[in-house]
Amino acid sequence: MHARTAGDAPAWKDAPAWKPVNFFGEHVASRYDVVSAEMFAPEQVDPAVQFLAGLAWGGDALELGIGTGRIALPLSRRGIRVQGIDLSPEMVARLREKPGGEHIEVTIGDFATAKVPRRFSLAYLVYNTITNLTTQDAQVACFCNVAEHLAPDGCFVVEVGVPQLQRLPPGETVRPFSVTAAHLGFDEIDVATQRLTSHHYLIDDGKVEVVSMPFRYVWPAELDLMARIAGMTLRERWADWTREPFTSESESHVSVWQKRGG
Ligand SMILES: C[S@@+](CC[C@H](N)C(=O)[O-])C[C@H]1O[C@@H](n2cnc3c(N)ncnc32)[C@H](O)[C@@H]1O
């Protein structure tokens, strides 16, 4: 077996704590829609688009980490003007290739700090992408940046997993999340910093490709506090896009914070 690391992906250990690093370069972007095919299925996309369209109230929407347009394109087909921010020109190039993708304005930059000179009635950050910000400060900065971009009473929606620490035995730091013939995946968790690194070993035709990506997991109550710091308050929290109740068993949540009117 030959092991190699993803060609253009930076080594996670070299990633500075503060400066955002583009982990979605050409190697990831060229395969993103195929590797994430399940997330592009109508049963995943349609409820999210329905939920977001309802909150936009016909106003404009800003997607942080717009990627290849999985949600932005169907949302814009609902008549909502969507703009995006993304760090990866390679992901945005894939969005541009799709029908309607050429009309969506995207700012290339870090969504914790990048500015778009407009106000929106809705901002959203889906598919665990808040955890791509690997420090608490960066996550707080993201909430503050969103608040600056929202019109009074505008809403910020985050879809993210609940940290699965109950599944981590005491004293352990590693948790497998996928063990199949084609994919070995495990998270390496540091409970002190809330940083985790997801390691993927992708096995194909006797070759192994290793991809590792850093994240910072974040608790629902911690997000509420970040929202409060940014001048927003929790309006709704659900287990998923279909508004199933959020309970102590929920493994992820869709939360909506509202900017205080002014
Ligand atoms: C998991 S993908 C999600 C893409 C899209 N929202 C979706 O649901 O398919 C994460 C996206 O966020 C972008 N991203 C990650 N960290 C970022 C940051 N700090 N600033 C801007 N974009 C970022 C990546 O380049 C990538 O396109």
Asked if residue 70 has its Cβ within 6 Å of ligand 1, the reply is: yes
Q: What is the pLDDT of residue 18?
A: 62
- Amino acid letter, residue 68: T
Checking if the pLDDT of 11 tops 70, the result is no
Q: What is the pLDDT of residue 17?
A: 54
Query: Which residue's CA lies nearest to atom 19 of ligand 1?
Result: 110
Report the separation in Å between the CA atom of 110 and the middle of ligand 1, taken as the mean of its atom positions.
Answer: 9
C-beta of residue 216 within 8 angstroms of C-beta of residue 193 = yes
Confidence of residue 181 (pLDDT cuts 50, 70, 90): very high
**pLDDT, average across residues 220-233:** 98
The pairing of beta strand 174-179 with beta strand 183-190: antiparallel
Checking if the pLDDT of 6 tops 50, the result is no
Q: What is the pLDDT of residue 205?
A: 92
Query: Which residue's CA lies nearest to atom 12 of ligand 1?
Result: 65
**pLDDT, average across residues 95-108:** 97
125 CA: nearest ligand 1 atom: 6
Q: Cα separations (Å) of 61 from 57, 124, 140, 257?
A: 10, 8, 20, 15
Query: Which residue's CA lies nearest to atom 11 of ligand 1?
Result: 65
Name the DSSP class of 246.
Answer: P
Average pLDDT, the chain: 93
Query: Which residue's CA lies nearest to atom 14 of ligand 1?
Result: 65
Q: What is the pLDDT of residue 5?
A: 42
Q: What is the pLDDT of residue 58?
A: 85
Report the separation in Å between the CA atom of 13 and the middle of ligand 1, taken as the mean of its atom positions.
Answer: 20
What percentage of the chain has pLDDT greater than the value 90? 89
92 CA: nearest ligand 1 atom: 27
